[in-house]
């Protein structure tokens, strides 16, 4: 049952944490998505029963009907951090009234456009910055620092974009 003060089901989350603690194999999961091209630069990802549209901005030749893929990565990181702050604060009894995160990423388009080889210019982000504001009036500075350190260190999306991940891509006919 969702706790109206927390906005999530603390008992369900606690139960899952305990199951993974008791049997680490239950924590090994596989997440999936499928994508489909619409037209132009518009495409969509289907994740469980949710559809996320993506497009390029007009300055890149798109129709600007949705965020582009690298913007979605920034949004995913910010939302991952937000979820981490809400869940951890709730489990620790820290009352949060707000979590605001501003993100920015540096991306050089030369490799994407084929103007420079990827060995010379990375086709993806070279730096991602997240500026976090937590509104937790009753928390101490020490509690907020411990919360921040824990959430940043355990963010799955943060880990994905911060370290090399094995990517296996194959063309099927």
**What CATH number labels 68-173?**
3.30.300.20
Helices 69-92 and 141-154: angle between axes, nearest 10 degrees: 130
Residue with tokens 């582009």: 68
Q: Mean pLDDT lowest for which of 8-12, 29-33, 56-60, 81-85? A: 8-12
- Burial class of residue 11, CB neighbours in 10 A (0-12, 13-18, 19+): exposed
pLDDT digits (tens, 9 = 90+) for 58-84: 999 999 999 999 999 999 999 999 999
Predicted confidence at residue 62, as pLDDT, reads 96
pTM, full prediction: 0.92
Ordered alpha helix ranges (H), the chain: 10-22, 69-92, 141-154, 156-162
* Phi/psi at 22 (5° precision): -75, -35
Residue-wise pLDDT for 118-145, tens only, equals 999 999 999 999 999 999 999 999 999 9
Domain ranges of the chain: 1-27, 31-67, 68-173
Percent pLDDT > 70 in the chain is 97
């Amino acid at each position: 049952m969702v706790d109206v003060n927390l906005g999530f089901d603390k008992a369900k989350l606690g139960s899952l944490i305990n199951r993974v603690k008791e049997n680490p194999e239950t924590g090994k999961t596989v997440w999936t998505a499928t994508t489909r091209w619409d037209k132009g630069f518009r495409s969509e990802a289907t994740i469980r029963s949710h559809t996320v549209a993506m497009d390029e901005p007009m300055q890149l030749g798109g129709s600007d009907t949705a965020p582009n893929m690298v913007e979605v990565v920034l949004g995913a990181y910010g939302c991952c951090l937000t979820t981490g702050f809400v869940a951890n604060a709730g489990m620790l009894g820290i009352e949060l009234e707000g979590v605001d995160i501003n993100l920015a990423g540096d991306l050089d388009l030369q490799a994407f456009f084929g103007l420079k080889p990827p060995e010379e210019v990375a086709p993806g982000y070279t730096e991602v910055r997240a500026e976090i504001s937590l509104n937790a009036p009753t928390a101490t500075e020490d509690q907020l620092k411990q919360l921040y350190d824990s959430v940043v260190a355990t963010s799955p999306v943060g880990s994905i974009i911060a370290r090399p991940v094995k990517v296996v891509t194959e063309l099927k006919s």
